[in-house]
Structure 1
Amino acid sequence: MVKLLRESAPAKINLFLRVTGRRRDSYHELDSVFVPISIYDRLDIELRPARIAAVQLCCDSNIIPADERNLAFRSAREFLTEFNIQAEVLINLHKEIPAGAGLGGGSSDAGAVLRMMAELCGIPQTAPLLAVAMRLGADVPFFLNPTPSRVRGIGERSEALGQIEKPFLLIAVPPVEVPTALVFRGLRPEHWSGPASDHDILAIIQGRIGREHLVNDLEQVAIAKWPEIGEVKRLLEAVGAHAAAMTGSGGGVFGIFSSSGEASRACQEISRRAPQVRTFTPSVL
């Protein structure tokens, strides 16, 4: 029996991203607040019975690979292997989340595929599914249930924050694609800021977010390699953001505004001053 499912995969921003240490296996341990936002990729999955497990992916973006280099492709293959399912999986991926922008597009696609495959195959979202997500990448477990969360370690510890006061956002993405691994390779212990305080978390929950809360330990490294990121951050502040920071490993930068109207006006001003910069005014989900 052929089974079909369609779902949207949201982007995310990191309101802060702090490095707390480095493990013996060279992975960095982090402390971060992830919030899902209303920029979406769309996925259609078709599951067909087959003698041999197989995955096929089609994507409408010619800069996104459609083979094992793609996290959505790998997540389907890992799922079939983990749960010993013989099926052919056809994935149609429509991209809206900018690549290499720190918005979690690839990880969100992978999380969506795991959620969809679990639903199609009647697999509960329990420890084995989380283990598959962890193997795919540190951000993927968050996207199994994307809700505002504090994420620690290498992504394995996630604590939902519940209802938070949602900030008004403007996201600006310069025309650069930032490889995450390259940024982490440039990270040094002097860049680490350590874990967030309870005060930082409470300020985020209550919507009292200031510059002192938007710490991203990767920002200095990324701006040194891609100065356009720093230029976009300064532009956001110039058009009225009361706080701005890079998200993830970059190169996207978000600004926080006092109202949706201010964010929209700032968006228009950035489009006028820097038409090469992609802008979004998403909501926090």
Structure 2
Amino acid sequence: MLNKPNKIWLAPAKINRFLHITGQREDGYHELQTVFQFLDHCDELSFTIRSDNKILHQNPLAGVKPEDDLTVRAAKLLQHDASATQGVEISINKRLPMGGGLGGGSSDAATTLVALNELWQLNRSTDELAKLGVQLGADVPIFVHGYAAWAEGVGERLSEIELDEPWFVVVVPSVSVSTAAIFSHPDLPRHCALITQNEFLSGKGTNVCELIVREKYPQVEQAIQFLAQFSPARMTGTGACVFAALDSEQKAKKILGQIPAKMTGFIARGKNKSPLYS
């Protein structure tokens, strides 16, 4: 069963437990190795089905045109692909920061695909929805499939992985990092040697984007230095958010209570199964 309490659909955050760039294709896309895990910290979406074919965003994000919003694009993509005659009104309680490396936009798009597939009674398979989702962003299939995953290629080759599910303190620096700017940076390491899942599980793996982001954004450097006092700290994706794993909610809350005034953050539990489906 999908998680729909009071017709609320969850769009969870993700973290990258590590991120290596292993090459760059002729089309400019980067080959990578990474591990995605979900957090039980989520955007909340609701959908009101319309009898006409209009796709409407009820509370668009500041600075984002409704037609550019990933939820609207996801709804239109699915509607066109399935020749659906119904429309929808989309509302979002936005809790995940933009430009933070937590995958909020991709997660919202995936939840839209999954929700409308059910509400419009389209009967598309998870694999079919994931193939549509990759047209919206490389991370969207992760959220559609809904399990913690080892990812390769441009992030589209997924295999399920079983991880520990610690408590995480996530610090949100007051800066938005451009993924495109980081991936186009001349100093980005682009030829990491391939590692195996067993090597990762035994402790190998870093985030190769982190050094560049720390140098360009002092707020990220400060966040990592703060968290590193308590537990090994790492940036997720291309930033800006950083996280540290703890073995109890109590420890995580204690650290969050000491967060510097210029930073914000939250605690969340790591989840191998997406809160959308659990």
Same-fold call, TM > 0.5? yes
Match of 1:6 among 1, 8, 12: 8
- Supply the distance in 1 between the matched residues of 2:191 and 2:242 (Cα, whole angstroms): 20
- Specify the alignment match of 2:262 in structure 1: 276
**TM-score (norm. length: structure 1):** 0.86
- Specify the alignment match of 1:140 in structure 2: 140
Question: Shift of the alpha carbon at 1:120?
Answer: 1.4
- Specify the alignment match of 1:230 in structure 2: 221
Question: Shift of the alpha carbon at 1:179?
Answer: 1.7
Is 1:192–1:217's contact at 8 Å kept on the other side of the alignment?
no
Change (3 A) 1:189 1:155: same
- Specify the alignment match of 2:20 in structure 1: 18
Q: How does 1:22-171 map to 2 (within 5 A)?
A: 22-50=24-52, 53-59=53-59, 61-63=61-63, 65-122=64-121, 123-162=123-162, 164-171=163-170
Equivalent pairs: percent with the same residue?
A: 30
- Specify the alignment match of 1:244 in structure 2: 233
Describe the superposition over 1:122-145 as per-residue Cα deviations: whole angstroms up to 9, x where unpaired: 322244322210100000000103
Tell me, what secondary structure is at the counterpart of 2:257?
Answer: helix
Is 1:66–1:73's contact at 8 Å kept on the other side of the alignment?
no
Tell me, what secondary structure is at the counterpart of 1:284?
Answer: strand
Describe the superposition over 1:54-106 as per-residue Cα deviations: whole angstroms up to 9, x where unpaired: 3111237535x251221111111111111111222210111001111100100
Question: Shift of the alpha carbon at 1:262?
Answer: 2.2
Describe the superposition over 1:131-174 as per-residue Cα deviations: whole angstroms up to 9, x where unpaired: 21010000000010322111111122111114x32123111011
Change (3 A) 1:190 1:109: closer
Match of 2:209 among 197, 218, 229: 218
User: Tell me, which stretches of 5 or more residues in structure 1 are unaligned?
Assistant: 204-208
Change (3 A) 1:198 1:35: closer
Describe the superposition over 1:209-239 as per-residue Cα deviations: whole angstroms up to 9, x where unpaired: 5xx54x111112222221211111011012x
Question: Shift of the alpha carbon at 1:49?
Answer: 2.3
Tell me, what secondary structure is at the counterpart of 1:135?
Answer: coil
- Supply the distance in 1 between the matched residues of 2:24 and 2:72 (Cα, whole angstroms): 29
Question: Shift of the alpha carbon at 1:17?
Answer: 0.9
Q: Given residue 68 of structure 1, which amino acid in structure 2 is its aligned partner?
A: E
- Supply the distance in 2 between the matched residues of 1:71 and 1:268 (Cα, whole angstroms): 34
Question: Shift of the alpha carbon at 1:26?
Answer: 0.5
Tell me, what secondary structure is at the counterpart of 1:81?
Answer: helix
**TM-score (norm. length: structure 2):** 0.89
Change (3 A) 1:167 1:173: same
Change (3 A) 1:60 1:131: closer
- Structure number with the bigger relative contact order (C-alpha 8 A, sep ≥ 6) is 2
User: Tell me, which stretches of 5 or more residues in structure 2 are unaligned?
Assistant: 1-5, 272-278
Change (3 A) 1:196 1:278: farther
Is 2:171–2:223's contact at 8 Å kept on the other side of the alignment?
yes
